[in-house]
Amino acid sequence: MTSPVASQPRRRGVCPGVLVPMQVGDGFLLRVRVPAGVLPADHARRIAELGDRYGNGLIDLSQRGNLQLRGIAADGLEPVTEALRGMGYVSGDAASEAVRNLLCSPTAGLDRTAPMDVQGVARTLDARLAEDAALHRLPPKFGWLVCGGGIGHLADSSTDVRFDPVDGERFQVSLGGTLAKAAPLGFCRAEDVADVASALGRAFSELRATLPEPPRRMAGLVAGMGTDPFRTRLSVLISPLSPGERIKVRGTHLMDLFGSAEPPHPNLLPGGEKGSQSGKVVAFPFGRLTAATLAALASACAEIRITPWRALILVAPSKDAEAVAHTHGAILSHNDRRLKLTACSGAGGCDVGTTDTHATALAIAERAGPLLDPVRMVHVSGCAKGCAHPAIADVTLTARDGVYDVALNAKPGDASPYTGLSPADAVARVADLLTEEFTGA
């Protein structure tokens, strides 16, 4: 049992990178930003070796499409950094690395149903973010997104500046949120995306500086001053829309063209007529896999795409890829209940955590079984900060000093009628509550 002080939520404020390793409960965490989310199989194998040799062999997939190596020892930082630099994954300095918060459709170039292959656009933008020093003073977490549409669209991903395809040559540019919630500015040509992003980043910095309490995210700035100041500054690069107007493609709003892209879709890229390349989607509970798993998967495909859905796409998988993934505990079905589980790293991965959050969540899936079918999310949080999901979940467990508070339809830290439960009692309580809720028993 730890002291109350150690159980307080921790505010870190900065985003980790390779050049800004973050010290957490199990050593240093290195976030590797992979351009366009495309990881050649030989790079994946070498990264797995680095995680195994210098770290604790655990690798996390972030919701922003990055790989995170965990448990790196202090004397391993330099060799890991140099090896990653040799593969092209390290920027010139920490500021140019930190600004590269760019999400790209993971099916870019693989899906013939997509209006555009956005890999090139994403790589050009990634390079511009690193080069343009004026963008390096943007707040941490300020992000960008290039969506190619099709089955790997990013309509539901939220970010600060988004580019969504209108056709094979143009993007809708919108600010602050998911495709449905972001404020549309207008549209731009694919070749102008980097210039538009650069101008928008500058405009954000200038405009926020005029306010007494500068917002740190685009949605806050747009809520305060609307989109007109951006339209004025970008009138040369963007064909404007009227306020409230949304781009339509063949009479349909852009956001209505996209269905759900929540993974995993086991046959996401079946090859043949629809897909130009075959691909196998493999997900992992909590987005965590081991270096050995990454190495095995890399040996069973030509390339790995990193998605924002805690899943990987194995491009051109070998015949035994599914068996390899299954052996390593991957999630291969959309119906796997482990997809409903969310948890931070908890004890062992965060020095604030006092419980094994992953073990508790998996025990709930095991115990509750079909009772979880009507549930969208079970969140086991290592403390009230709720790093993995600060919002409301159907079932939320909040740990403190080795025990849990359990609540339905609550955020981490919300008042709970069931407090101070041991992990085993918390698992049983969740099963009882779900039984009452969904069977009336």
Binding site for ligand SF4 (CB under 6 A): 9-10, 344-346, 350, 352-353, 381-383, 385-387
The angle formed by the CA atoms of residues 346, 158 and 382, to the nearest 5 degrees, is 10
CB of 55 to ligand SF4, least distance (A): 18
CB of 60 to ligand SF4, least distance (A): 11
Nearest CA to 284 out of 336, 319, 321 is that of: 336
CB of 390 to ligand SF4, least distance (A): 9
CB of 402 to ligand SF4, least distance (A): 12
Nearer to ligand SF4, 38 or 352 (CB): 352
CB of 389 to ligand SF4, least distance (A): 9
Residue nearest to ligand SF4 (CB): 382
Q: How many whole angstroms separate alpha carbon 2 and alpha carbon 412?
A: 19
Classify residue 304 as exposed, middle or buried by CB count within 10 Å of its CB (0-12, 13-18, 19+).
buried
Q: How many whole angstroms separate alpha carbon 288 and alpha carbon 286?
A: 5
* DSSP β-bridge partners for residue 93: none
CB of 16 to ligand SF4, least distance (A): 13
Nearer to ligand SF4, 293 or 396 (CB): 396
Separation in Å, CA 338 to CA 204, 251, 285, 327, 410 = 39, 39, 6, 16, 20
Q: Please enumerate in sequence order all residues whose Cβ is within 8 A of that of 365, keeping only pairs 6 or more positions apart, or say none.
A: 337, 338, 340, 341, 372, 378
Nearer to ligand SF4, 240 or 412 (CB): 412
Nearer to ligand SF4, 264 or 353 (CB): 353
Angle between helical axes of 41-54 and 291-298 (0-180°, round to 10): 160
Nearer to ligand SF4, 282 or 350 (CB): 350
CB of 360 to ligand SF4, least distance (A): 12
Exposure b/e, 347-386, CB count within 10 A at least 16 = b: bbbbebbbbbbbebbbbbbeebeebbeebebbbbbbbbbb
Nearer to ligand SF4, 109 or 382 (CB): 382
- DSSP code of residue 61: E
Nearer to ligand SF4, 128 or 400 (CB): 400
CB atoms < 10 A from the CB of 35, how many? 19
CB of 205 to ligand SF4, least distance (A): 29
Nearer to ligand SF4, 119 or 345 (CB): 345
Alpha carbon 367 to its chain centroid, in Å, reads 28
Say how many Å lie between the first and final Cα of the chain, rounded: 35
